[in-house]
Copies of this chain bind each other. A is one copy, B any other.
Amino acid sequence: MTAMQGARRRERRQRTALVPRRRRVARIRPGALPGTLEAPESMAGQPPRITVIAYGPDTHVEREVARIDEALAEGTPASVRWINVEGLGEPDVLARLGERFGLHPMALEDALNVPQRPKVERFEASFFVVLRMVRPGPEVEDEQVSLFFGRDWVVTVQERADWDVFGPVREALRQRRGRARDAGADYLAYLLLDAVVDAYFPVLERVIESVEALEDEALEALPETLPRIQQARRNVFTLRRAVWPLREEIAVLERADAPFVAAETRVCLRDSYDHAVQALEVIESLRETLTNVMEVHLSAQNQRLNAVMKVLTVMATLFIPLTFIASIYGMNFEGMPELRWRYGYPSALALMTVTAAGMILYFRRRGWW
A295 at the interface (CB under 8 A from B): yes
Q: How far is the CB of A366 from chain B (nearest CB, A)?
A: 8
Q: Which residues of B contact A268 (CB under 8 A)?
A: 34, 106
Asked if A313 contacts B309 (CB within 8 A), the reply is yes
Stretch from A38-46, A68-76, A255-263, A299-307 contacting the other chain:
A299-307
In the complex, the chain B residue whose C-beta lies closest to that of A4 is B365
Instruction: Give the residues from 113 to 139 in chain A that come closer than 8 angstroms, CB to CB, to chain B.
Output: 116-117, 119
A294 at the interface (CB under 8 A from B): yes
Q: Which residues of B contact A177 (CB under 8 A)?
A: 33
9 tightest A-B contacts by CB? A31-B168, A326-B327, A329-B331, A312-B313, A33-B178, A333-B345, A330-B330, A301-B302, A315-B317
Contact of A339 among B29, B288, B309, B332 (CB under 8 A): B332
A101 at the interface (CB under 8 A from B): no
Can you report 11 residue pairs joining A to B where beta carbons are below 8 Å apart? A9-B220, A13-B216, A25-B201, A30-B168, A106-B267, A117-B277, A219-B227, A295-B298, A298-B302, A320-B320, A323-B324
Q: How far is the CB of A133 from chain B (nearest CB, A)?
A: 12
In the complex, the chain B residue whose C-beta lies closest to that of A225 is B299
Given the interface contacts A178-B33, A216-B16, does A324 sit within 8 Å of B319 by beta carbon?
yes
Q: Which of A227, A241, A304 has the most CB of B within 10 A?
A: A304
Instruction: Give the residues from 158 to 204 in chain A that come closer than 8 angstroms, CB to CB, to chain B.
Output: 165, 167-168, 171-172, 177-178, 180, 194-195, 198-199, 201-202, 204
Asked if A306 contacts B308 (CB within 8 A), the reply is yes
A212 at the interface (CB under 8 A from B): yes
Q: How far is the CB of A211 from chain B (nearest CB, A)?
A: 9
Q: Which residues of B contact A348 (CB under 8 A)?
A: 331, 333
A335 at the interface (CB under 8 A from B): yes
Asked if A339 contacts B344 (CB within 8 A), the reply is no
Stretch from A57-65, A90-98, A278-286 contacting the other chain:
A278-286
Taken together as a complex, chains A and B put the C-alpha atoms of A349 and B223 apart, in Å, by: 37
Asked if B312 contacts A23 (CB within 8 A), the reply is no
Taken together as a complex, chains A and B put the C-alpha atoms of A119 and B142 apart, in Å, by: 30
Given the interface contacts A119-B274, A331-B326, A345-B331, does A171 sit within 8 Å of B308 by beta carbon?
no
Contact of A201 among B28, B323, B364 (CB under 8 A): B28
Taken together as a complex, chains A and B put the C-alpha atoms of A198 and B17 apart, in Å, by: 31
Given the interface contacts A306-B305, A319-B324, A323-B324, does A335 sit within 8 Å of B342 by beta carbon?
yes
A100 at the interface (CB under 8 A from B): no
Instruction: Give the residues from 1 to 50 in chain A that come closer than 8 angstroms, CB to CB, to chain B.
Output: 1-2, 4-5, 8-9, 12-13, 16-17, 21, 23, 25-36
Asked if B241 contacts A281 (CB within 8 A), the reply is yes
Q: Which residues of B contact A165 (CB under 8 A)?
A: 30
A81 at the interface (CB under 8 A from B): no
